[in-house]
Amino acid sequence: MLLQEKIDSTNFSANEQIVVNFIEHKQETINEYSTTKIAKETYTSPSVLVRIAKKLGFNGWIELKNAYVDELTYLHKHFKNIDANIPFSGNDSVLSIANKLGQLKNESILDTISLIDSKSFSQAIQLLNHSHSTGIFGLSNILFQAEEFAFKMRHIGSKVQTFPIQNTMFQEAAMMTSNDCAIFISYSGESDPLFTVIKILKKNHVPIIAITSIGDNKLSKLADITLRISTREHSYTKIAGFSSQESISLILDILYSGYFAQHFDDNYNYKINLSKKTEFRNIDNHIIQDN
């Protein structure tokens, strides 16, 4: 849940609502306001801001203000000329649709890069590097992207598996240990079946990497490391998950590439030797031919 959504769904007193309205009106410029200044302009007291912050799960005004401004700054970047939910209309030609989808995917990539926290990615890559095996958990079409990541990782000798049959997730999770790691992919971060798996993994002290949307959700609270997906799509009112899928793919590619780079020469040689042993085809296209 985004902070703005949490604000909208929280019950405030009359004085608190006056201050909340003031904050929402000021948008990013609220960053320049102290508790004293806000209290003066709203004819309230600084303690009202503290109560608002506490209701929203923050320790104080500064923490709330920083989170609010960061969220607004993110939401106001990129996607200025395209709607991630409905990027084209029924009147668009095929070429127009192609151009709009290309723009949407480019915006999604830039958006994802803007969300990258290098420390979190480095920690996730080190966790993969030191794990005996990795399990990837997700639901529905997310499993296709998870399988692509697992395919790449297996082809450089890493033990990675996905669980396309939902019921097998629970048994496989029960067999994992603290020497393994788990990756959970969920745009909403609120997919109930995944939390049964997490409960099992927590008992086994399995470290968890979450790939999920920005804001406050159950998955990010339970994970040891959280990597954020471009968050522009509605849950249901969209043509397809064009943006989120592009974002997830990029995050998984960054994890794979970061893992690959840890032992670049060994991984490259392993992959090339495996390809030579298993791939047999005649290629006439000189562009894709290997020497």
Q: Is the pTM of this model over 0.75?
A: yes
Cβ atoms 124, 116 nearer than 8 A: no
Alpha carbon distance 284, 254 (integer Å): 32
Cα–Cα distances (Å) from 89 to 11, 75, 93, 100, 105, in that order, read 38, 23, 9, 10, 17
Domains and CATH numbers, the chain: 3-75 (1.10.10.10), 117-263 (3.40.50.10490)
pLDDT given at position 218: 93
pLDDT band at residue 228 under the 50/70/90 scheme: very high
All residues at 6 or more sequence positions from 116 whose CB lies less than 8 Å from its CB, including other chains: 254
Q: Name 105's Cβ contacts closer than 8 Å, sequence gap at least 6.
A: 242, 243, 246
pLDDT band for position 110 (50/70/90)? very high
Report, in angstroms and rounded to the nearest whole number, the Rg of the chain calculated over CA atoms.
23
The confidence score (pLDDT) of residue 285 equals 67
Helix, coil or strand: residue 162 = strand
Name residues whose C-beta falls within 8 Å of residue 253's C-beta, 6 or more positions apart in sequence: 149
Buried b (16+ CB within 10 A) or exposed e, 204-240: eebbbbbbbbbbbbbbbebbebbbbbbbbbeeeebee
In angstroms, the CA 271 to CA 259 distance is 14
Is the pLDDT assigned to residue 79 strictly greater than 90?
Answer: no
In the prediction, which pLDDT does 28 show?
87
Contact 259, 125 (CB under 8 A): yes
